[in-house]
Amino acid sequence: MSEYYWDSKIEYLRNTRWLYYNDDYLEFLVKNVWKLNAPVNIVDYGCGYGYLGVKLLPLLPEGSTYTGIDKGEDLIKEAREVFDKLPYSAEFIQGDIDMFVHRQYDVAICHAFLLHMANPRMILQKMIDSVLDGGRVICFEPHWIANTANYGFDEIQHSEVVPLGILQKLYEESAKDSGKDGNIGMKLPIFLSQLGLRNVECRVSDKVNFLDQNMDAAEKDRLFQSLKEEGIGQELEDSVKVVEQLVQRGLSVEEAQAQYAAELKLFQVFDSDSWLTYAPNMKISFGTVSRE
């Protein structure tokens, strides 16, 4: 069995990726913003099971190709099985993301990947180095503090279950300690420009998930289960253990206890009969490679 963490999270990835984007908005980006109207060769860093390839290739001109790179052996196996059933030209490389990639692609992409990297600038530089002059680098990455602000509950105050100030401190302390930054989505335009890209822009996904008690029962159950896997209202471990872990991550004892109490309340009140709106608020940053 693989010891790589994300090899054990394939079902989680399958069940939560759809929460982040509307297909029509992705089509708008491809055709109206990026204007990818000729075949392109895409490389996907940290491709997982090939999610972005599955979403983007049907929107791209015929003749486009997709190369996925991931450290996970099981993830790459899954990706190959997925694409064996699809009519697209795709190749998958299993190995450490630090491996050298030749400058041969028109577009380099990544999805919810850089936030897990202690050295995101170095990875971004590798992405840039793999793209031909005039090509694009496109990054889909989260901004956790905006994400946690984008809940709407019925009959419960947002501040009772999502203490934003405590969470912001927790995210910032974790990033300072490990280099891995869940708020990287809002920083990427700065990084891309500082690394020499031109025409840098950032968009926000328009996806809002609505757990509606009047929706189709099967769709409601699917959405509820996905929201739980996303981490909303999850069951908690022992309070002493959780508080201790939060203190180790930079919170005071009082802040850690307040965070635990908020998470416990959300677990107690959130169920399949709840009304909830949730916008992941994913940031999509991109720029053009120019070596002149």
The pLDDT of residue 107 is above 60: yes
Position 35 in a domain: yes
CB 260, CB 242: distance < 8 Å: yes
Position 225 in a domain: no
Position 269 in a domain: no
Write out pLDDT tens, residues 40-83.
Answer: 999 999 999 999 999 999 999 999 999 999 999 999 999 999 99
How would you label 32-57 residue by residue, b for 16+ Cβ within 10 Å and e otherwise? eebebeeebbbbbbbbbbbbbbbbbb
- 79 forms bridges with which residues in the sheet? none
The pLDDT value given to residue 2: 72
Position 170 in a domain: no
Average pLDDT score over residue span 232-250: 95
The pLDDT value given to residue 291: 86
The pLDDT of residue 1 is above 60: no
A 10 A CB-CB count for 152 gives 13
Position 113 in a domain: yes
Nearest of 117, 142, 150, 152 to residue 46 by alpha carbon: 117
Average pLDDT score over residue span 92-114: 89
Write out pLDDT tens, residues 270-290.
Answer: 999 999 999 999 999 999 999
CB 233, CB 224: distance < 8 Å: no
Position 127 in a domain: yes
DSSP helix/strand/coil, 159: helix
Average pLDDT score over residue span 241-253: 96
The pLDDT of residue 222 is above 60: yes
DSSP helix/strand/coil, 24: helix
For CA atoms 221, 222, 225, 231, the dihedral sign is: negative
What is the Cα–Cα distance from 24 to 58, expressed in whole angstroms?
A: 12
Predicted model pTM: 0.95
- Sheet containing 151-153, strands listed edge to edge, beginning at the edge strand earlier in sequence: 151-153, 276-278, 209-211
Position 137 in a domain: yes
Sequential DSSP letters for 90-136: EEEEES-TTS---S-EEEEEEES-GGG-S-HHHHHHHHHHTEEEEEE
Position 27 in a domain: yes
The pLDDT of residue 258 is above 80: yes
Compute the C-alpha angle 228/232/233, nearest 5°.
Answer: 90
The pLDDT of residue 116 is above 70: yes
Write out pLDDT tens, residues 167-219.
Answer: 999 999 999 999 999 999 999 999 999 999 999 999 999 999 999 999 999 99
Q: To the nearest whole percent, how much of the chain has pLDDT over 90? A: 95
What CATH number is given to the structural domain containing 14?
3.40.50.150
Which residues span the domain enclosing 80?
5-143+182-208+280-288
Q: To the nearest whole percent, how much of the chain has pLDDT over 70? A: 99
Number of domain units in the chain: 1
DSSP helix/strand/coil, 62: coil
pLDDT bucket at 100, cuts 50 / 70 / 90: low
